[in-house]
Amino acid sequence: MSKIKAIIIDDEKNSRIVLRNLLESEFGEIEIVSEASSADEAYNKINTHTPDLIFLDIQMPKANGFSLLKRFETIGFEIIFVTSFDNYAINAIKFSALDYLLKPVEIPDLRAAVQKAIVTIVKKENSQPQIINLINSISNENSDKKIAVHTGNKVKLISIPQIMYIEGDRRYCHLNLISGEKYALAKYLKDFEDFFENTSSFIRISKGFIINAAHIKEYSKGDPFIIKMANDITFEVARRRKKEILEKIKKF
């Protein structure tokens, strides 16, 4: 197999040097063909070198990493995002089934992300659908955002409005769709809370469930407070949370 061509994109010179050294010492199958310190420089170098893989810093002056990606009509390379802690961006990346590294980069995390990228490149699979979904999620240009879930050897993009409720089960969550389909993700309910934030129609009604208020069929006026969903499944909500949840329901 020929070497995998990679470009490091980061406005911090020291970060580029550290990452280059780690890659050269750990991954003989990767060839760093270029580096870039800005989105404009990166755009030109990607077009020149046609890399298989880029390491992309999210926070860069003038234009960030997401702005760079928007300039490509076709994304024919894999991406490993590199970032300082940015909860909103990280959640969006995770829910698009893409990889990221936190600065300072740790070797085990780098090894896992690179090995996954190599497998994708060798199999000639392309992450463009997930990348487009990520860009839409970050920019809020598309109200029909999606969540990427792994099903066998494929990644399926689930339209968020199609989710009726989410059930938490320790380290896993189960998405229950209005179609009756169910999908499992290795995430906590808190991850979904952070992803949806307070502006969406999704409401945490208990320790184990988040429901989509858009699919509520009816709810009781008195106690106990019962919510019935469009598929007739019911949830009993704790009395102490009734007022808060009713206020949220009435917004949708």
CA dihedral 81, 85, 87, 93 (to 10 degrees): 10
**Nearest CA among 58, 8, 55 for reference residue 36:** 8
Q: What is the pLDDT of residue 126?
A: 80
Weakest mean pLDDT among 154-158, 212-216, 225-229: 154-158
The residue whose two tokens read 């310190």 is 37
Give the Cα separation of 30 and 20 in Å (integer).
10
Mean pLDDT of 22-45: 95
Domains and CATH numbers, the chain: 4-139 (3.40.50.2300), 158-249 (2.40.50.1020)
pLDDT digits (tens, 9 = 90+) for 120-158: 898 888 888 888 888 877 765 445 678 888 887 788 889
- Residues 32 and 21 sit within 8 Å (Cβ to Cβ): no
Q: Please state whether the predicted TM-score (pTM) of the whole model is above 0.85.
A: no
Q: What is the pLDDT of residue 113?
A: 94
pLDDT digits (tens, 9 = 90+) for 159-180: 888 999 999 988 899 999 999 9
pLDDT digits (tens, 9 = 90+) for 74-126: 899 999 999 886 667 888 888 888 899 998 899 999 999 999 999 989 888 88
Q: Edge-to-edge strand order for the sheet containing 4-9? A: 30-36, 4-9, 53-57, 78-83, 99-102
Chain-centre distance of CA 153, in angstroms? 18
**Nearest CA among 36, 44, 43 for reference residue 12:** 36
Give the Cα separation of 222 and 243 in Å (integer).
12
Mean pLDDT of 189-211: 85
Q: What is the pLDDT of residue 200?
A: 78
